[in-house]
Amino acid sequence: MSNSQLTAGFHTREEIYSQPEAWRGVLAVLDAEVDSLRTFLTSGAYEQVVFTGCGSTYYLSMAAAAVLQRVVGVPALGLPASEVWLNPTALPPARRTLLVAVSRSGETTETLRACEHFRAETNGDIVTLSCYPGRALTQLGDLNLVFPSIREESVAQTRAFSGLYLATVALAALWADDNSPLWNDLHRLPDVLAPLLSEHADALERLGADLSIDRFYFLGSGIRYGLACELSLKMKEMTLSHSEPFHCMEFRHGPKSMITPSALVVALVSDERRSDDMAVVADMQALGARSLTIGSHDVDVAFGDALDEIASSALYLPFGQMVALGRSLAKGLNPDRPENLDAVVFL
């Protein structure tokens, strides 16, 4: 089938619904390098970790930093690549640092410049994560990981984001090096996700296609905040809709003034702070908002309690992506090629 014959959203749909197999490909790459990865991570004597990227992979960096700091206990933060490159005070000084640079394309100018600046100015090593072999980024790290199973035709990231995020969580699990349930749970993710995609696809795409909704708020706290930011970005990119992310409880402090009956609140509900998260949702429902709750149990999209909460964090992503896909198509847009966007930003 030629590109001219493809229907709008063909690639985006395939990329969203192929995530179980794509994740298996990511895990296979890591499985092949387990010993060398663990040695690299544990022998570096890193005092801090900085994750960096642009756009979606900046939000990935925020989420990955929260996970690594929690799992490994090493201070970590996520920064836009432009800050690492151009802001000399962005990195905490005089500490041995691991820079983890994430780019779907491996060609984004700011990410390349961030690595080059880090190499010249900072005491530490670089790990790169990308999807295409032979690209510029794959020459810049002390360790370069490439995940071809998550490559995409679409401009807006879906399986590339979730797969690269999965890789960062797996690196944290390997670094912890205790044969924890996390590493094993990550390998169970594809089998958990597959039936959930089928179960919820129609309802979530229909929800997105409801054009009486005119604003979206994605709520997530802790390790889920960066994921909420990414899902909000997907809604903006794919549907040209008003969409904002917030920490769950922070939404009460001003942003709730924007709630109307035409608002949809999408809550990434935590196991650990479930009562707090759901209380915020209830407050917004009382103000007239509609809601979509995603989490392990007693929510609209429930993926069960079988997995570690950190492992299951990747499961939030496909369901928010489905809502954006449904809305984009209902608005007559092409989510494969959103307006005013490029797959790679070259400077």
Strand runs labelled E in the chain: 48-53, 76-80, 97-102, 124-130, 143-146, 215-219, 242-246, 263-268, 290-295, 301-302
Per the CB < 8 A criterion, the answer to whether 333 and 239 are in contact is yes
- Segments in 48-128 forming alpha helices (H): 56-72, 81-86, 109-121
Q: How far apart are CA 337 and CA 170, in angstroms?
A: 31
Sheet arrangement for strand 290-295: 242-246, 215-219, 263-268, 290-295, 301-302
Count, residues in the chain: 347
Q: What is the mean pLDDT of residues 54-64?
A: 98
The 10s digit of each residue's pLDDT in 43-52 is 999 999 999 9
The model carries a pTM of 0.96
Above pLDDT 90, what percent of the chain?
A: 88
Count of helices and strands (H, E) across the chain: 11, 10
Which residue did the predictor score with more confidence, 272 or 201? Answer: 201
Return the pLDDT at 8: 87
Q: Do domains 3-178 and 190-330 have the same CATH topology?
A: yes
- Which residue is listed with tokens 């749909």? 13
Return the pLDDT at 185: 96
The 10s digit of each residue's pLDDT in 201-244 is 999 999 999 999 999 999 999 999 999 999 999 999 999 999 99
Above pLDDT 70, what percent of the chain?
A: 95
Confidence class of residue 91 from pLDDT cuts 50, 70 and 90?
A: confident
Residues in CB range of 202: below 8 A, 6 or more apart: none
Return the pLDDT at 4: 46
Comparing C-alpha atoms, which of 178, 155, 197 is closest to residue 23?
A: 197
Q: CA-based Rg of the chain, rounded to a whole angstrom?
A: 19
Residue 80 has pLDDT above 60, yes or no: yes
Return the pLDDT at 1: 44
The 10s digit of each residue's pLDDT in 296-325 is 999 999 999 889 899 999 999 999 999 999
Q: What residue spans define the domains of the chain?
A: 3-178, 190-330
How many CA atoms lie less than 13 Å away from 342 in the CB half-sphere?
A: 8
How many CA atoms lie less than 13 Å away from 117 in the CB half-sphere?
A: 19
Which CATH number is correct for 3-178, 3.10.580.10, 3.30.43.10, 3.40.50.300, 3.40.50.10490? 3.40.50.10490
Which residue did the predictor score with more confidence, 56 or 306? Answer: 56
Taking the CB of residue 241, how many other CB atoms lie within 10 A of it? 20
Return the pLDDT at 315: 98
Q: How far apart are CA 253 and CA 81, in angstroms?
A: 30
Residue 30 has pLDDT above 60, yes or no: yes
Return the pLDDT at 88: 81
Tell me 223's DSSP state: G
Return the pLDDT at 17: 98
Which CATH number is correct for 190-330, 3.30.70.20, 3.40.50.300, 3.40.50.10490, 2.60.40.10? 3.40.50.10490
